[in-house]
Chain A
Amino acid sequence: MKLIFERSRPGVRCGLLPPCDVPKALPAAPLRSCPPRLPEVAEIDISRHYTALAKEAHGVNDGFYPLGSCTMKYNPRINEEMAALPGFTGLHPLQPVETIQGALEVLCMAERLLCEITGMDAMSFQPAAGAQGEFAGLLLIKAYHASRQDTVRKKILVPDAAHGTNPASAAMAGYDVVSIPSNERGCVDLDALRAAAGPDTAGLMLTNPNTVGLFDENILEITNIIHDAGGLCYYDGANLNAVMGIVRPGDMGFDVVHLNLHKTFSTPHGCGGPGAGPVGCRQFLAPFLPGEQAVEQGGGFTLEQSTASIGRVKLFYGNFLVVVRALSYLLSLGREGIPEAAQNAVLNANYLMTLLQDRFDIAFSKGVMHEFVITLEHEKKRTGVTAMDIAKAMLDYGIHPPTMYFPLIVHEALMVEPTETEGRAALDEAARILHEILDRAQSDPAALHSAPQTTCVGRPDEVGAARTPRLRYSFPAAQ
């Protein structure tokens, strides 16, 4: 398909602005010597271009999207309409506080509801994404230890099955990362944890249910080991969808959490953002929260920043319109709807696993919650067909593949998270397709190596892309 620059024709433009109604006056400063080569196109060119690009994209509304650990649930339309209300979109972030009472109430309501769901006491909406929430949460831990003049705690413990962001965030927060092995059940190895926890432990980062989809039943013992060593416990909210309304991180012994509003609370992923990664904490950490907090005061709302705050991680108050969408969702689901979503997410995962497990190996099948991990290690040995081949074959059936090659502790992994917003028929169809692909893998493995066949491009040359990076359009030489 043509690039937008290849649709450009000199002199074409959209008529957007009226003529300037004051005298022209350029600043007495160096001006750019040549204009940026932006496309010169008409509105219909733009419209057709992006309509064509949209046809080569796959969103949740295009079909089943069981991308493990990403919680690709349906994004309700009402949330979009509420986030587009001019009373929200038209607000300058630095308006006088009496003119933003509704916006501050949105933040306070969302904070109260999400604190109740997580068992935390306070929450900041500043972090823009899960990774930034992790970073902010770790800085809370760092600030807490520093406030107690406890300066020897240099280590963050992270299970080997964790998301890559956990160790990367810990490193950004200035910590050394200690990897804790998983046991044969895919959960935290308690002996290894005991051996690693000590006076130099700043904290532990954990997600529960973990990345193989299991709820770690030793969770209270785990958080006790860390607390006994003087460390704090950080809950990665990536997998909260499995247990929201059923068990709360605060009650499991966690001191800090981050949430992914774009996963658990149904705000759209937008091809990779914007999301929101609010960070919540117990009361003793609240003074360290980043940025200003919306607070209720004397019948109204205002903004406050604690003097002990770690500072801000972002401009203003975070991705506010994402919080509006999440609030709309929270109000829709309410007391009964929140646990019901979790129950159906877990039911869907178990049902799909049941349909598959007679022929696919499941890495840890006992007690699976909202997602499960298929391992194609045997299949690869037997037929040469890899997890990548199976995933690419799914593209020909209009299904987005599961997360590939994660977690790292499972070989040839495909991590499947159906979410609660898929119906039985979609799960039955997905299972049928996976069985069909497996049949093909066994009868004609060579064909699967060249999947997909029906997409607009085949497998791209990734090695070549990294070796000879072409990261921008090369304009033809001027005539």
Chain B
Amino acid sequence: MGGYIPSSPDERGGMLQAVGVSSVEALFSQIPAAVRAGTLDLPEGLSELEVRRRLEALAAKNQVFRSVFRGAGAYRHYIPAIVRGVTAKEEFLTAYTPYQAEISQGILQSIFEYQTMICELTGMDVSNASVYDGASAAAEAAAMCRDRKRQRILISAAVHPQVIETVQTYAFGAGVPVEQIPLRDGRTDPDALRAALAPDVCCVLQQQPNFFGLIEEVRAEAVHAAGAKLILSVNPISLGLLETPAGQGADIAVGEGQPLGMPLAFGGPYLGFMACTKALMRRLPGRIVGETADARGNRAFVLTLQAREQHIRREKASSNICSNQALCALTAAAYLSAMGPGGLREAAEQCAAKAQYAAGRLCEIKGVSLAYAPPFFHEFVTRLPVTPDAVLAALEAEGILGGLPVDGGILWCVTELCSKAQIDEMVGVVREVCET
């Protein structure tokens, strides 16, 4: 019923006449009858009001929790109102990739600003215009490090399990081996890492803070001494406070940018950020915006270093990627502008303080303890005297989404959005389950 065809029946008739055919059907005459579809088994089209009712009914079947203590790769943070104000602008929403620089300066400049902010956050030299998400960013980063002699990818078992899976899938495509470095007490085992650093290793991928929320001691010298590259997958909010990937010796920094102003949204769209040292610049996949000038000497921005890309290099390109997550990159840039250096640090400090407060309160409960030694950022694992399911069900009944069940306990996440009262309430429910 709905449709978005602006021509009137009369106009369409006139257009058919101009083309010189009697019906629109004649324009499809080269399609062999043998392959023509009959009427498809689709529902009748609906009016806008009916569509609204259908989708509102579907949305109402979901439960949105009033308190969330679950992270594990998707983090609920405060989203300043100005962020949505920026990303709702139709010029940004409905434009394509900025191929025509002269009418796309606004888009190109916003990406250039985003690239600068990612460089500032990570301490790295060069950022691309973003990729699909943190997992594909990690997989693309591993591909950047490969050459003929070095193909093996080492990945810490404390990296997000879905990131490990994604790296494995990309490696299956390329036909290269992936090896996991085992853990000791929730962190990458340094002895196992050293032992695994064979001459065919191209890179080591670690997550900081790791999947269990723990801050790892990164050993860049060992990785570099073995001739491999170090990739750190980092949480961008933590970089308001914690040492940068560059400061830890990373060659490539990647991460999931969702915490920078994007809603949880059942897992997407999110944002993969990627930044690297200058030495690796020409191996970076994806769009990159550069500053230049026009003939009149005006500052201008363009898509650049395109000799890396699929539309020029085809099968020899550094990646097949041709889009970025521009609107999500714009979201991140607007978020970081609103937060500023002080606001970002404040958010990071509040995350850390509230996570430590929640961990302390939980550990006051008989039988509850930290599974792994601190330091941690805003996630931590507790052991429990009861099953995780019992705790989580009791929380769910109160409209609270508890942490994620993991081996040996529950992985909790506490952000600046969790008030002290909400933390205390959550702890109260857990106490009741554990102590009765």
Contact = CB atoms under 8 A, between A and B. Distances in A.
Interface stretch (A189-197, A213-221, A379-387): A213-221
Interface stretch (A225-233, A278-286, A341-349): A341-349
Greatest chain A CB density within 10 A among B6, B60, B344, B357 is at B6
Interface string A66-86: 010010111110101110011
Interface stretch (B199-207, B222-230, B314-322, B428-436): B314-322
Given A32-B244, A93-B74, A113 B42 contact: yes
A440 interface: no
Given A87-B56, A247-B36, 12 more contacts: A27-B241, A54-B92, A90-B264, A220-B34, A320-B266, A334-B1, A369-B27, A420-B5, A450-B295, A457-B299, A465-B292, A471-B127
B365 interface: no
Contact of A22 (B327, B341, B354): B354
Nearest to B129: A272
A351 B301 CA distance: 36
A103 to B, nearest CB: 5
| Closest CB pairs A-B (n = 5) | A316-B267, A87-B59, A334-B45, A102-B61, A270-B327
A16 B338 contact: yes
A332 B320 contact: no
B172 A269 contact: no
Given A92-B68, A328-B55, A367-B30, A36 B326 contact: no
Give the residue among A53, A60, A92 with the most B Cβ atoms within 10 A: A92
Nearest to B46: A331
Contact of B101 (A315, A457, A469): A457
Interface string B255-288: 0100000011111111000000000010000011
Nearest to B218: A30
Contacts of A464: 292-293
13 contacts: A26-B352, A85-B55, A86-B59, A95-B401, A96-B396, A128-B268, A129-B321, A271-B95, A272-B325, A318-B267, A424-B7, A458-B294, A462-B302
B93 to A, nearest CB: 5
Nearest to A135: B320
A149 interface: no
A128 B136 contact: yes
A315 B165 CA distance: 9
Interface string B66-80: 001010111010101
Interface in B146-186: 160, 162-163, 165-166, 168-170, 172-175
B196 interface: no
B150 to A, nearest CB: 17
B59 to A, nearest CB: 3
A129 B323 contact: yes
Interface residues of A, number: 197
B168 A311 contact: yes
Contacts of A38: 117, 120, 336-337, 339-341, 344
Nearest to B98: A271
A460 B300 contact: yes
B366 interface: no
Nearest to A45: B337
A391 interface: yes
B305 A469 contact: yes
A183 interface: no
A455 interface: yes
Contact of A92 (B74, B94, B117, B289): B74
Nearest to A221: B32
A13 interface: yes
A346 B325 contact: no
A51 B43 CA distance: 41
Contacts of B32: 217, 219-220
Nearest to A14: B338
Contact of B63 (A55, A99, A348): A99
Contact of A334 (B43, B241, B300): B43
A203 B130 CA distance: 31
Contacts of A316: 73-74, 162, 266-268
Contacts of B93: 59, 75, 80, 268, 270
Interface string B1-41: 11111110001101110111100100111111011110111
Contacts of B426: none
Nearest to B88: A80
A339 B36 CA distance: 12
Contacts of A458: 102, 294-296, 298, 300
Nearest to B134: A315
Interface in A232-246: 243, 245-246
A86 B85 CA distance: 17
A433 interface: no
Contacts of A78: 48, 51-52
Nearest to B258: A315
Contact of B290 (A95, A139, A465): A465
A99 B265 CA distance: 14
B29 to A, nearest CB: 8
A88 B295 contact: no
A38 B114 CA distance: 10
B145 interface: no
Contacts of B311: 163-165, 406
B324 interface: yes
A60 B90 CA distance: 8
B374 interface: yes
A246 B163 contact: no
A203 to B, nearest CB: 14
B12 to A, nearest CB: 7
A70 B100 CA distance: 14
Contacts of A304: none
Contacts of B56: 82, 85, 87
B302 A35 contact: no
A335 B42 CA distance: 5
A37 B295 contact: no
B232 interface: no
A354 B18 contact: yes
Given A13-B343, A36-B344, A461-B293, A100 B31 contact: no
